[in-house]
Amino acid sequence: MDFCKNYPLPDWTSGFEHRKTSASQLPYEEYTGPMEKSASDTNDYRLIRLPNNLVVMCVQDPATENAAAALSVNVGSNMDPVELQGLAHFLEHMLFMGTEKYPDEDEYKKYISQHSGSLANDAFEGALDRLSSFFTSPLLKKDCVDRELCAVDSEYKGLLNNDIWRSYQIGCKLSDPNHPNSKFMIGNIETLKQGAKDHGLDLY
């Protein structure tokens, strides 16, 4: 099935108007066309596009006092090279090892924990700044490579007796070998460290 033909992607080129933030006068674009939502949905929505072309859906929920954010990067385990299965999972671990602005390991987790795992509005900016730095300036420290490979391997071993995970892996094994779902997405020492060595690759 042609996914794009049956489920066309949104048109991000039309319906946007140029705006500026009220305080700092920074430019952005805001979608002014109609938005469809359920009649019972009490949330307010704004769709904006930043100068770097990042499209952001802002949701205001009148029933909550906490803030949250998520980022879709349109890449992940499905795109792992066959010779390095688990690479995306390993990279996820490496991102938490510090950024240029926040060089301390696990700074993001520490910040979230300091705010009891749920962010009030006054803590949201700090969390968003830490999250965004994963994608703009990760340190990817070389001295963390072996440790995080072991952490990935430990996660894998910890799931070996988990029936839900084992059922999922059976599904992967039964999938078309040419389909991304057939890959070993969690990875372990064998698929990553040994896989890199067997193919003459350096994980750093």
Looking at 92, 107, 155, 190, which residue is catalytic? 92
What per-residue string of b and e applies to 34-70 under the rule 16 or more CB within 10 Å gives b? eeeeeeeeeeeeebebeeeeeeeeeeeeeeeeebeee
Active site residue 107: no
Residue 148 contacts residue 90 (beta carbons within 8 Å): yes
Residue 147 contacts residue 105 (beta carbons within 8 Å): no
The residue whose two tokens read 């904006």 is 48
Could you list the active site residues? Answer: 92
